[in-house]
Structure 1
Amino acid sequence: MSILQFFPDPGDPDESLIDPFDPIVGQDQAIALLQGAITTNRIAPAYLFAGPVGVGKRLVAQCFAIALSNGFPTTNFLNERLHKSNHPDLLWVEPTYLHQGNLVTTTEAHTQKLEFKKPPQIRIEQVREIVKFLSRPPLEASRSIVVIEQADTLADSAANALLKTLEEPGRATLILTASSTHSLLPTIVSRCTHVPFRSLSQSDTKRVLQQTGHGEILADNTLLQLSWGSPGKAIASFEQLNPIPQDLRRALTELPLTTRQALELASFIDKTLDAQTQLWLIDYLQHCYWQLHHQPSIIQHLENARNYLLKLAQSRLVWDVTLMQLSHLTQSFAFQNSKTHN
């Protein structure tokens, strides 16, 4: 999700002033803490934005960077440079893969269709880049700003190398984001000012989805419920579900399947969806089937499938067996229900 979707196009430098925190929905406590630091001019050397995935930590980090760089409030024209991460006093760091000696971001890996067995990390080479960036004074702003996304992916060597910088960043502020304080070294957490983030209410989740142009997600109640108050998760889930054709999606979620449908779906899932999406699909189907049938045995079969996939079993075989089992189970339930009503 791009932060640019929340803001108007940049205009003339003399445009009227705006509050950089205006786009934020549902994080009143976090915003109050940051606004208080700005208005009292008590900016900490480092901040830790901790909370669920997809609830606005990245967006707040960019808004806070705007406020720190240009004063508070600031203008649209100056904001735009920070939105595009091309401000000379802003360094944005995100987890990377190592590919043929080069660091590759998740977006670059997706664009280049690269697959990796291990998840991306913040690496020691990136911490060295941070140290180098902070070794020079800020060029335009009153301070340099470094944002480290998903800091809970810091490799051990990178985390240890970052400790001194967190203590003495110079004329700079570091902003780390993470899913929780427990996912980081205690020595890193202790050097940061903690800013808590929370899951959004259902009304706030819907508001964010509408604002960002994802209103079609509101029609799928399962995606909303699976998001657990995270618009980012709802969007990611929608993007995972979207490649599945409507007719197959309908057959997959409604049950019971014919033998032919079960085998066709298994083949489609195996050929079309990557391993991570297949694991996500199990969560989605468990939720759908529980709403429809309330049968623990169905949920258990899907949980067994998850375990086999995690053990790197052949996904086609796993889905063949699982969907056939679910088809037989739901046919049996339907038959029993018809006998009961008769």
Structure 2
Amino acid sequence: MSYLVLARKCRPQVFEEVLGQGHVTRTLQNALKTNRTAHAYLFSGPRGVGKTTVARILAKALNCQEGPTPVPCNRCVSCQEITQGISLDVQEIDGASNRGIDDIRELRESIKYLPARSRYKIYIIDEVHMLTGEAFNALLKTLEEPPRHALFIFATTELNKVPLTIYSRCQVFHFRRVALNAVVDHLKTLCAREGVEADERALRLIAKQAEGSVRDSLSLLDQILAFSPEEITEEKVQEILGFVDRRIINDTAWAVLENDGKRLLSRIAEVYEFGYDLKQFLRDLVDYLRNLLLIQLDAGEGSPADFTPEELAEMREKAGKVSPEVLEEVLHFLVRAEGELRRAPQPRLALEMTLLRAARIKEFVPVEEVLERLERTKEASSDNGKGKTSSFSAPPQVREEEPFYSNPSPSPRIARPEFEGEREGSSKGDPFPREKFLEFVRSRYLPLAAYLSHGVPRWAEDNLLEWDFREEPFQLRLLEANGNQKKLEDLVREFFRREIRVVCLGEDKKAAKANKKSDLPSPRGKRLSIQTVLTQPQIKDLIDIFQAEVAEIRLPQER
């Protein structure tokens, strides 16, 4: 073909032309100046950042007729043959297709012979990590003690797959991703050389999509030049490469931060109708929010390098409307949601639900605040002493009978009847010391105090104490079900230091039988009544903290 793509046409021919790898090129040039070149090099890094290009330049520098020199002439026969890829003494081997032990055996046989024309025989093996284990083992001895005229240059994108035995025999250089601004400047230079007018925003979009790969950026530029040979604008780049308009991304991000569900769904529908990739749209949204967070945290001037100065000024102006904590929570949520979106059978629905939930993050109460409110409620409960108990008051024996509720939402709290101390019989005039007695019971047996706190005590006779549970029949059944009647009489006798008979009053037998069927959990899975659940102090405390209501009751075995 007569046409040569930009990635090949504009390939660097000397070390100074290599973008963003100064730490590598400077070291190699100094090694050439001082005649300290190694017999084996290993270049690692992302795709399209110059590993094979630097390997070719190093081969030219070593075999140049004016060399070894840090600046190859590119005019001699050796330099031109290496540039064209036809040199007999510089062999480029694809490690992915020549990966077996037989290929390495052939290499070991050919390496014995002197170079045909050049100073060194150089083997450049690309994607060296693709070689088999047997091929690596066959290469070890030759790599450790190669002939004086031989030199190896390995390139790989996955350094972790290269055996340590190979790694330790090479000088290793790590290639970096090229900075976005450097790629943009390089694209500007190429467009000017090609006589094409290019908008800086359009070039930034190309450089951002390339993700630090110079080769990828040149391939994208080639594609866009085929679409629009005379002028490159942001709209044309978005059209040909399928990018979402940045204004849509910005508006969607602020719809999330401002909890505007209607605008959010409208933007998602617009993106879907245009046929954009929803996963890429979510990644662009996360990238915008990340840049907004960097601006808020003042993480260096110009950290979000893919924005123009006007866009940065607008983002700084808006950044004060949302706290960094909210941004961090939204980002954390969306990053985790990316994996779910990739696996979702309905990506649009998954994206809508994800962004709507992210928009409500500001409404969530922090865990620290919930714990603080819970602690205040517990302190108020202990100070009040009006029959409230902590959430740990239920005994282990009735754990399976504790109700479970779900789907909380705001609801008014049911008030508990207060005790009005009344004394009958021979001790008329003195109220029953309810609070002191309950405190005494708590010190002896906490669960019993929890049950008693729901009843009203009164003297029937001098030696007869009635504990009225007619307002709280459920607590009476719990008390009787665990054999606490005898414990209560013993504690009363110990507290008053005399023989006193205790009678617990509840509903009549007919009503009790009906309530027992409806209130107490049974093996058949009968439901507890909401009214009964609301009388429990644990439930009341939770309702206060979470502003909730009991909407449904499930037994433990039904969870």
- TM-score, normalised to structure 2, is 0.42
1:24 equivalenced with 2:18 (yes/no): yes
How much does 1:223 deviate?
A: 5.5
* Distance in 2 of aligned mates of 1:144 and 1:216: 46
1:216-227 equivalent positions in 2, closer than 5 A: 219=202, 221=204, 224-225=207-208, 227=210
Q: Please state if 1:159 is matched with 2:116.
A: no
Within 1, Cα distance between the matches of 2:288 and 2:354?
A: 13
For the 8 Å contact 2:7–2:219, the answer to whether it is kept is: no
1:131-146 → structure 2 map (5 Å cutoff): 131-146=108-123
Instruction: Summarize the alignment of residues 97-112 of structure 1 with structure 2, pairs less than 5 Å apart.
Output: none
Q: Match for 2:176 among 162, 182, 198?
A: 198
Stretch deviating more after TM superposition (203-212 or 214-223): 214-223
Q: What is the aligned partner in structure 1 of residue 156 from structure 2?
A: 178
- Residue 108 of structure 1: aligned partner: none
Q: Cα 1:77–1:286, aligned 2, differ >3 Å: closer, same or farther?
A: farther
Aligned CA distance change for structure 1 residues 169 and 249 (closer, same or farther; 3 Å):
same
State the number of aligned residues. Answer: 277
**Closer/same/farther in 2, CA of residues 24 and 257 from structure 1, 3 Å limit:** same
Alignment partner of 1:231 is 2:205: no
Deviations for 1:37-70, whole angstroms, at most 9, x for unmatched residues? Answer: 2222233211112333322111111111111111
* Residues 95 and 129, structure 2, Cα contact 8 Å, conserved in 1: no
**Which residue of structure 1 aligns with residue 349 of structure 2?**
324
Equivalent residue, structure 2, for 1:46: 40
In the alignment, the residues of structure 1 paired with residue 207 and residue 135 of structure 2 have an alpha-carbon distance, to the nearest angstrom, of 36
Corresponding residue number in structure 1 for 2:10: 5
Letter in 1 for 2:50: G
Once the two structures are TM-superposed, the CA of residue 140 in structure 1 deviates from its matched residue by: 0.7
Which protein has greater RCO, CA pairs closer than 8 Å, 6+ apart? Answer: 1
Residue 198 of structure 1 deviates from its aligned partner by 2.8
The answer to whether the 8 Å contact 2:210/2:217 transfers is yes
Task: Report the equivalent of 1:285.
Answer: 281
Q: Report what 1:94 is aligned to.
A: 94
Residues 184, 204 of structure 2: 8 Å contact kept: no
* CA-CA distance at 1:199 after TM superposition: 3.1
Percent identity of equivalent pairs: 23
Number of the residue aligned with 2:526: none
Is the 1:124–1:158 Cα contact (8 Å) retained in structure 2? Answer: yes
SS, match of residue 93 in structure 1: strand
TM-score calculated relative to the size of structure 1: 0.64
Residue 334 (structure 1) shift: 8.8
Task: State yes or no: 1:304 paired with 2:340.
Answer: yes
Cα gap change, 1:66 to 1:210, in 2 (>3 Å): farther
2: distance between equivalents of 1:234 and 1:335? 38
Query: By how many angstroms is 1:303 displaced?
Result: 1.4
Preserved contact between residue 49 and residue 213 of structure 2 (Cα < 8 Å): yes
User: 2:179 is matched by which residue type in structure 1?
Assistant: S
Q: Which runs of 5+ in 1 are unaligned?
A: 8-18, 98-102, 104-121, 270-280, 309-317, 338-342
Give the conservation status (yes or no) of the 8 Å contact 1:218–1:224: no
Instruction: State the alpha-carbon separation in 1 of the partners of residues 200 and 129 from structure 2.
Output: 29
Question: Does 158-167 or 82-91 show the bigger shift?
Answer: 158-167
Structure 1 244/304 Cα, relative in aligned 2: closer, same or farther at 3 Å? farther
Task: For 2:48, give the aligned amino acid.
Answer: G
Partners of 1:248 and 1:20 in 2: CA distance: 35
The answer for the alignment partner of 1:168 in structure 2 is 145
| 1:304 counterpart SS class | helix
Q: 1:246 to 1:21 in 2, by over 3 A?
A: closer
One-letter amino acid of the structure 2 residue matched with residue 174 of structure 1? F
